[in-house]
Amino acid sequence: MKPGQKPKAKRWLFYFGAGYLILLVVLALSTPLFKYQYADKVGAVLLPPSGQYWFGTDQQGRDVFTRVIFGARMSLFIGLSVQMLCLILGVLVGVGSSMGPKWLQQLLQRITDAMFAFPDILLAILIIGVWPRSLMGDGILPVIVALTITSWPAVARIVKNQVASLKDREFIQSTMALGAPMPYVVFKHLLPQLWGLLLAITMVDLAGTILAESSLSFLGIGITPPLPSWGSMINDGRGYINSNPMLLLWPCLVLSLTIFSLNFVGDALREMTDPRSK
Amino acid sequence: MADELAPGDQATVLAGEKASFQTVSRLREQLGLNRAWPIRYGEFVTKAARFDFGNSYYGTKEPVNKVIAKNLPMTMTIAFLAISLAALIGITLGTLSGSNENKPQDRAILILSTLGVTIPTFVLSPIFVIICTQNLDLLPGQWKTTRVAPDIFYLIMPILVLAARPTAQITRLCRASIIEALQQEYTKLAVAKGVSRARLIFKHALRNAILPVTTSIGSNFGILLTGSFIVEQAFLLPGIGREAIEAIQKGDTPLIQATTLLAGAMFVLVNLAVDLIVPWLDPRVREAQV
């Protein structure tokens, strides 16, 4: 079903979500043009929103609008890196566990199943917990590794199920009967069928990854300050909930809208690409 | 556990920056960090099997067991109260919504549950705090060591925040299952027999819809455990989650091991309980097992 054929409310949500995401990406990419950078102190602390400081200033006198957009940059960077790695790992494992030799299929299947036995973010927290202190750096690498490890099995499972049902279809069977080598079949015939679905799933999973990154930063074990992250900004803002609730409002609002939009756009894309999920 | 593989040496951190080489190596020996990791791992497993997790590296060097015993009741209380609340509200709303498909009450519940799934726990908790403690002055904002009201008043908000996401998930699943059950042949037959609406929904549709919902409670408990880390941090509750985060920030290995092992064990136990409940609810599964 195309978005044009959907009920009005849903179509509006799709356009709103897509518009919001485009705006966010454009802003995040244009940060070099900004007047302030994320760690610049502009002078007065805890200013209310004004023409000069759109979202006000925080407890250290930094421009909140700048930090929220740099936070978006951080979230999108981590989210997209994780999704890219998950896609590569997931496609490799998914194809391997449905097309590979029997022993490889069994092995990959067991590993994927074992990964599902852990509650998601708990495993990420454990991985960051065992990361050597001295190699922590700014926290970006540990977060990317931890979230990739926790989220690839979902992609692998979907790819595996899709490939397993596709490989018995006639066009694949006949290509193989003609003696086409396995990599050719996989890359030329199997994967092109999956890109649409994978794109939709990546959108929805991206929401989960951004949420997980914010959760880790909120708990104080994600991105290290002064690097901005929505999660740590929310955690900082909690201290000023009485005196300056606006400080808390902005990252909460932008984060929630991002999660919202990714879910709506992802669901709409999935409905377009996967006829079964109506 | 994986903690043992971490190459970061806690002895250097513990001894402080100015410690001499001798102090560091003495400390390393005391903590047993000078031995190879397979040996240490073997030791950890045999000790953990007897519920001995060693002593914390910091503070008064309390045995980890004591730290856990102090914090476990809080996490258990909020986690089990929240999952019960989520199941209760989720099934009620899901049934109400699924049996009135596309009516106003269904739309309202659907919007609410979509919000519940997408709004993160740590965004929800400040919203609750602002509404309940700032504007209404109803509930205490966070756990205090000197309490003036009964415990339950301090726990209402954390439990509500914690239950929000699982409630929304269970509602959506229950709604979908009810709708599906109402389209089956057996419901059509029941309608043709002249079964009353209430009996149809509770006896025929809900009885079948409850099975996938029960199974989902297991995976929802995982979401909830992660949520309890955040809620304990947000409301300063003395629980396992807060202890684990503090341990990670300080690098307190024995405590990290014990807390994550415990959280994993709780998750496995709840899923085991779910697996035991399903055959009790579903005669088909029960017969397949015999």
Asked if B256 and A129 come within 8 Å (Cβ–Cβ), the reply is yes
Using only C-alpha atoms, what is the Rg of chain A? Answer: 22
How many Å apart are CA B88 and CA B104, to the nearest integer? 22
Instruction: Note the pLDDT tens digit of each residue in A71-113.
Output: 898 999 999 999 999 999 998 888 888 887 888 888 888 888 7
pTM, full prediction: 0.80
Asked if B233 and A218 come within 8 Å (Cβ–Cβ), the reply is yes
Q: Return the pLDDT at A275.
A: 55
Instruction: Note the pLDDT tens digit of each residue in A233-263.
Output: 888 888 787 777 778 888 888 898 898 888 8
Q: Is the pLDDT of residue B60 over 70?
A: no
Q: Encoding tokens for residue B2?
A: 């994986």
Q: CA of A184 to nearest chain B CA: how many angstroms apart? A: 39
Q: Return the pLDDT at B190.
A: 85
Asked if A122 and B260 come within 8 Å (Cβ–Cβ), the reply is yes
**High-pLDDT (> 70) share of chain A, %:** 88
- With beta carbons less than 8 A apart as the criterion, state whether B169 and B145 touch: no
Q: How would residue A12 be classed by pLDDT, with cut points 50, 70 and 90? A: confident
Of B167 and A121, the structure prediction assigns the larger pLDDT to B167
Task: Collect all residues of chain A within an 8 Å Cβ-Cβ radius of residue B3.
Answer: 126, 129-130
- With beta carbons less than 8 A apart as the criterion, state whether B152 and B78 touch: no
Query: In chain A, what's the furthest Cα-to-Cα distance?
Result: 74
Q: Return the pLDDT at B136.
A: 63
Task: Collect all residues of chain A within an 8 Å Cβ-Cβ radius of residue B263.
Answer: 119, 122
CA end-to-end distance (rounded Å), chain B:
37
Q: Return the pLDDT at A32.
A: 75
By C-alpha distance, the chain B residue nearest A242 is: B134
Of A226 and B93, the structure prediction assigns the larger pLDDT to B93
Q: Return the pLDDT at A3.
A: 46
ipTM exceeding 0.90?
Answer: no
How many Å apart are CA A95 and CA B232, to the nearest integer? 41
For residues B149-156, give the mean pLDDT: 72
Asked if A221 and B248 come within 8 Å (Cβ–Cβ), the reply is yes
For residues B239-259, give the mean pLDDT: 81
Looking at the DSSP bridge assignments, the partners of residue A62 are A41
Q: Return the pLDDT at B10.
A: 61
Rank A16-20, A131-135, B126-130 by mean pLDDT and report only the highest.
A16-20
Q: Encoding tokens for residue B69?
A: 């015993």
For residues A11-18, give the mean pLDDT: 85
Instruction: Note the pLDDT tens digit of each residue in A118-150.
Output: 767 778 888 887 777 667 778 888 899 999 988
Of A124 and B44, the structure prediction assigns the larger pLDDT to A124
Q: Is the pLDDT of residue B286 over 80?
A: no
Q: CA of A257 to nearest chain B CA: how many angstroms apart? A: 9
Q: Is the pLDDT of residue A2 over 70?
A: no
Q: How would residue B150 be classed by pLDDT, with cut points 50, 70 and 90? A: low
Q: Return the pLDDT at B257.
A: 79
- With beta carbons less than 8 A apart as the criterion, state whether B213 and B95 touch: no
DSSP assignment of B149-160 equals: S-HHHHHHHHHH
Q: Residue B225 is nearest to which of A122, A126, A234, comparing CB atoms?
A: A122
Rank A41-55, A188-202, B32-46 by mean pLDDT and report only the highest.
A188-202
Nearest CA among A22, A126, A141 for reference residue A78? A141
Interface test with A, best of B12, B122, B260 (most A CBs within 10 A): B122
Using only C-alpha atoms, what is the Rg of chain B? Answer: 24
A109 to A153, A161, B120: CA distances (angstroms): 10, 11, 32
Sequence-ordered list of residues with C-beta below 8 angstroms from that of A203, at least 6 positions apart, any chain: A262, A265, A266, A269
Using H for helix, E for strand and C for coil, what is the string for chain A?
Answer: CCHHHCCHHHHHHHHHHHHHHHHHHHHHHCHHHCCCCCCCECCCCCCCCCCCCCCCECCCCEEHHHHHHHHHHHHHHHHHHHHHHHHHHHHHHHHHHHHCCHHHHHHHHHHHHHHHCCCHHHHHHHHHHHCCHHHCCCCHHHHHHHHHHHHHHHHHHHHHHHHHHHCCCHHHHHHHHCCCCHHHHHHHHHHHHHHHHHHHHHHHHHHHHHHHHHHHHHHCCCCCCCCCCHHHHHHHHHHHCCCCCHHHHHHHHHHHHHHHHHHHHHHHHHHHHCCCCC
How many Å apart are CA B5 and CA B35, to the nearest integer? 12
Angle between helices A191-219 and A230-237 (to 10 degrees): 30
Q: Return the pLDDT at B16.
A: 59
Q: Residue B126 is nearest to which of A122, A131, A238, comparing CB atoms?
A: A238
For residues A184-192, give the mean pLDDT: 81
Instruction: Note the pLDDT tens digit of each residue in B257-284.
Output: 788 788 878 888 888 888 888 888 877 7
**High-pLDDT (> 70) share of chain B, %:** 74
Q: Return the pLDDT at A81.
A: 94
Of B208 and A52, the structure prediction assigns the larger pLDDT to B208
How many Å apart are CA A125 and CA A130, to the nearest integer? 9
For residues A20-45, give the mean pLDDT: 78
Phi, psi of B101 (to 5 degrees): -50, 135
Q: Return the pLDDT at A78.
A: 93
Task: Provide the sign of the torsion angle of the four alpha carbons A99, A104, A105, A108, taken in this order.
Answer: negative
Nearest CA among B212, B146, B124 for reference residue B176? B212
Q: Return the pLDDT at B165.
A: 87
Interface residue A7 vs chain B (CB under 8 A): no
- How high is the mean pLDDT of chain A? 81
- How high is the mean pLDDT of chain B? 78
